[in-house]
Amino acid sequence: MCDSVDVFAEWKDLATDYKQLENSNKVYQEKLNELAGYQKKCTDGIHHQKYRMDIIKQNLKSVPRTAENAEKIKELEENLIKQSAHLYHIEQTLPKQNGVYLKIILGNVNVSILNKEEKFKYKDEYEKFKLIISIISFVLAALNIIFNFRPLELIYIFLLVWYYCTLTIRESILKVNGSRIKGWWRMHHFISTVAAGILLIWPDMITWNQFRTQFMYFNAYISVVQYLQFIYQSGVLYRLKALGERHNMDITIEGFHSWMWRGLSFLIPFLFGGYLFQLYNAYVLFQLSYEATATWHVYVLSVIFLIIFTGNTVTTLMVIPSKKWEKMKNEYSILDFLSQLSKKVRENGNNGKKNE
Ligand code: COA
């Protein structure tokens, strides 16, 4: 009897807790609505800023650069770059719509990551995923060089189809979350998925046997290059994170850029080695396409290797000048940080005086 009384009292007690939960949930929902309102306001604000900045940029072109206004024009141009950097940072805190590809694959689910730490983790995971697969790829390519065993070949090529397909999805999510990954690298992974698919259905005939060893050596080489890319990309990622952390002054913008240039100078010869290998693959496949037993796969793969060679070479050559603009953008982030810091110091000083 005593137990049943406790049960009723407990239920009553729980009902009070539920009331509290209900209130918290109400506040939470109100805040969510408020948040959505602010998100919309900020998104509209960004569009407005960009629209007007574009007009200003256009009109600035027609302003004559006379001796008296040259300084003002330069200042305005710098302010426009600075403002673009600020807008980019604001954009990173707002949710974005999925692109067409993600909409088709995932539907209209929200994949925006609004927290900087989580964004970093996602990118870090992406780089580690690529590293693990390139290690597996190296081992499988080496095994395929040693053993000519069709099932092993097919397992490897199927892994490539799955890997490149997965990359396209992960990179689309990174793009939604503000990654500045160039269109070509994403396109490259779409094309690689197609190429791996064609390799998978390439009939096991004379032409394939003439090409397979070269293809496996190519993949082993690419795996090594991917390992080097991992070292470079994770170095960039951790250093950028350190730069972005508002309390971390251990790393300077100059230090970061000199590290980046050293990393790039080391990596680039290996990258171009890979591109020459791609061109050589295109050439060998083109020669093979004239063989009597050659199927359409040979010619199409030759064209694909040529496209990949061209896209990679052009994009990598374009990266170097684009680094100059990036340097400026980072400098402005730091300038922004310093101006915010001095503003805070001033505010604290004023508060201190008021309290005295
Ligand atoms: N794949 C995926 N993401 C890439 C990428 C690639 N090949 N190249 C650059 N990115 C990403 C960067 O991580 C960065 O992301 P973030 O905005 O989320 O921080 C963004 O794109 C902008 O990078 P960017 O400043 O243009 O270049 P970078 O300094 O990071 O890298 C290279 C420059 C040249 C080292 C890099 O593009 C690269 O390794 N390219 C070679 C790829 C290749 O040829 N692969 C085939 C091997 S033979």
Q: 227-238 pLDDT, tens per residue?
A: 999 999 988 888
- Choice from 229, 270, 330 to test ligand 1 binding pocket (greatest atom count within 8 A of CB): 229
Cβ-contact 200, 90 below 8 angstroms? no
CA 16, CA 135: separation in Å to the nearest integer? Answer: 57
Which residues of the chain fall short of a pLDDT of 70?
Answer: 1-5, 243-254, 324-356
Atom of ligand 1 nearest to the CA of 189: 1
232 Cβ inside 6 Å of ligand 1: yes
The residue whose CA has the least distance to atom 12 of ligand 1 is 181
233 Cβ inside 6 Å of ligand 1: yes
Cβ-contact 127, 181 below 8 angstroms? no
pLDDT for 92 equals 86
CA 329, CA 189: separation in Å to the nearest integer? Answer: 28
Angle subtended by helix axes 296-355 and 183-201, to nearest 10: 150
Instruction: Give residue 177 CA to ligand 1 midpoint distance, Å.
Output: 16
With the CA atoms of 268, 274, 279 and 283 taken in that order, what torsion angle do they form, in degrees rounded to the nearest 10? 160
pLDDT for 245 equals 58
80 Cβ inside 6 Å of ligand 1: no
CB atoms within 10 A of CB 229: 20
131 Cβ inside 6 Å of ligand 1: no
The alpha helices in the chain, defined as continuous H runs, are 2-61, 70-91, 100-106, 116-146, 150-176, 183-201, 206-244, 253-288, 296-355
Atom of ligand 1 nearest to the CA of 226: 47
CA 137, CA 222: separation in Å to the nearest integer? Answer: 9
pLDDT for 114 equals 85
Residue 35 is encoded by which pair of tokens?
């948040």
Owner of token pair 């719509």: 97
267 Cβ inside 6 Å of ligand 1: yes
The residue whose CA has the least distance to atom 48 of ligand 1 is 274
281 Cβ inside 6 Å of ligand 1: no
pLDDT for 249 equals 45
The whole-angstrom distance between residue 303's C-alpha and the CA centroid of its chain comes to 27
CA 102, CA 109: separation in Å to the nearest integer? Answer: 9
The whole-angstrom distance between residue 216's C-alpha and the CA centroid of its chain comes to 28
pLDDT tens digits, 131-169: 999 999 999 999 999 999 999 999 999 999 999 999 999
- The pTM for the full model equals 0.81
pLDDT tens digits, 301-323: 999 999 999 999 999 999 877 77
